[in-house]
Chain A
Amino acid sequence: MAGDLATAHAGEARLRATLAAAASAPVAPAWETIRARVLDEGAEGLAPTRSASRPRRTPALVAAAAAVLVLALIGALVVATRPESEGRFTQVGGAAAAPPGWFVPQDLPAGWTITSVSAVRPDETRCPGPGEEPARGIRWLRPDSSPNAAITVTIGRCVPPDLVSGPGGEVIRFPDRAAPVDVDLGSVTGSFAESLVGSDHLISWQIDGVPWTLEGSGLQIEELVAAARAIATAGSVDVAPTGFTFDETWTEPPRPRTQVEVELTTADGNQLAYVLVPGGAGAYRPRADVGTSTPPEHAPDLVLRAATYATAPWSLRYGIVAPGVDVDLWARLAPGDPAAIRRAGIGEISDDARLLVNLLAPASTAEWRELLAQVDHTPVLDEADEFSALAELDVPPPG
């Protein structure tokens, strides 16, 4: 045993000596170059400082570098000139090689467990109908009332309630729309749904196969139905509902074909989930941006976002924008407590969500599979080396 230890120590010492020697070359000062680049002080500042004896760049390499620089500047201009609603949560960093798109929490706190990993097709399980094309939306506000009084219409995509109360008082997440409450909208029949979230209600209908969804916050149900009837009869959103004024309009990206939901339970029994969706597809329409946050030190190229969302203001509080994938966090309350959900409202990002987002880190395919090996998961996940590959696989509907 003593001999083994001595051998190990001798080998370690030799390794340390090698690394120290290999790293020992003199380092040329570079502060002025770095400072100039940080302050953007002129083109000459963009060239890194190097020690002497660097081989000269060939003209072809110089041209290639110039082309890259031009493309980078164009990219920066594109980002800088985007509308704010699109540009807040853009990716930073410049990794040329795309990571596989998986995220795994590092070192969960005691008592936290990952309960399942599911691959789902949200377009076929939550909300049948078109979803491959961009949808558009419009919102009106009632100026003489509380800021929460709003009507939002989405055209080209149905918007299901995220949570409803079941017959036994239990919380049903993402209910299917098999048992709607019909509501007469004049020219068409709509479906009415009451969300557990605050005073939000939804009315959905179709015109020539195109889904329309009207969401109301802070309104009486009668007002909501009247607004839906006027819009459905007109077949347009050109005229604001009575008493409301135009707020904004937008286009939503196509619905993702697949997403991956990783569900966790905290030591207190609260449910959390983080959801992987294709890059850009995680942008449910923000109701109120809460702001961005400093990325976690283990992943400085990530951009965190914090926002509340029109369809689920209490639930989607935090997310990550990463190359090729968005990570949305769902901070859910304990099941079976609709009253608690009603009270939650739009508010603070939960401590659990804050903690989880700082534990999440990009993972290699091997690390992701290590996670899958430990929990119940959708079998098709075993076939995907990277997140984007799921789009080409046969992801079954859950249940």
Chain B
Amino acid sequence: MRGSADPRAVREQLYRDQYAASVRLARLLVGDHHRAEELAQEAFVRVAERVADTDSPSAYLRTALVNLCRDHGRRRRTVQRNPEPPPLTSPPPPLPADLDVVWQAVQQLPERRRVAIVLRFWADLSTEDIATVLGARPATVRSLIHRGLASLEEVLDDGR
């Protein structure tokens, strides 16, 4: 794909293939559906000029999106330390009670653990691919996932 593809065609195909999944990934990372749509669209705009030059547009997009979500999380924490104005939120997803408790716990995970958990158990990425997205070593990713699961152990055990 590198270099020779029509950038507009690549962008449109990438949208068809990845937009919905991107919104859903962002939804899991930032916890707000409307914000997720904004971030997914922003990620598409940011990578638009380069996707035709990369071997894996979807991986490139995913990395950009995760970075945007992490930036959003940092800004949100800053706002929380300086509490004005109130955050814009959409209603939480209508989950069954036994899953909602897990979802609440996932949202409480430290950012990198949450990203690693979502990429592993929702996006089904390999440890190496998650390491690429996070800019970390695979061993670090394995540690993040292990710690993330340990943090969720109590709520996951409750379901059994």
Contacts and interface: CB of A to CB of B under 8 A. Distances in A.
A15 B85 contact: no
A287 interface: no
- The 7 tightest CB contacts between A and B, nearest first, are A361-B135, A97-B74, A11-B156, A23-B24, A19-B122, A18-B102, A38-B48
Secondary structure type dominating chain B contacts = helix
Interface of A: 7, 10-12, 14-25, 27-28, 30-31, 33-35, 37-38, 48-51, 53-55, 57-58, 60-61, 64, 93-97, 104, 106-107, 294-295, 297-301, 361-364, 367, 370
17 contacts: A10-B160, A11-B159, A14-B102, A15-B102, A15-B149, A15-B156, A19-B106, A19-B122, A22-B28, A25-B33, A53-B90, A107-B131, A107-B137, A297-B59, A300-B50, A300-B63, A367-B136
B90 A54 contact: yes
Interface residues of B, number: 69
Which of A22, A28, A104 has most B Cβ within 10 Å? Answer: A22
B95 A21 contact: yes
Given A11-B157, A55-B88, A106-B137, A96 B37 contact: no
Interface string B64-104: 10010001001100100000010011110101101100110
Choose among A97, A300, A363 the residue with the greatest number of B CB atoms under 10 Å from its CB. A300
A34 B15 contact: yes
B9 to A, nearest CB: 12
A97 B153 CA distance: 31
A22 B75 CA distance: 23
Contacts of B136: 106, 361, 363-364, 367
A48 B103 CA distance: 27
A225 to B, nearest CB: 49
B137 A300 contact: no
Nearest to B33: A25
B19 A11 contact: no
Given A34-B44, A58-B85, A22 B95 contact: yes
Contacts of B112: 364
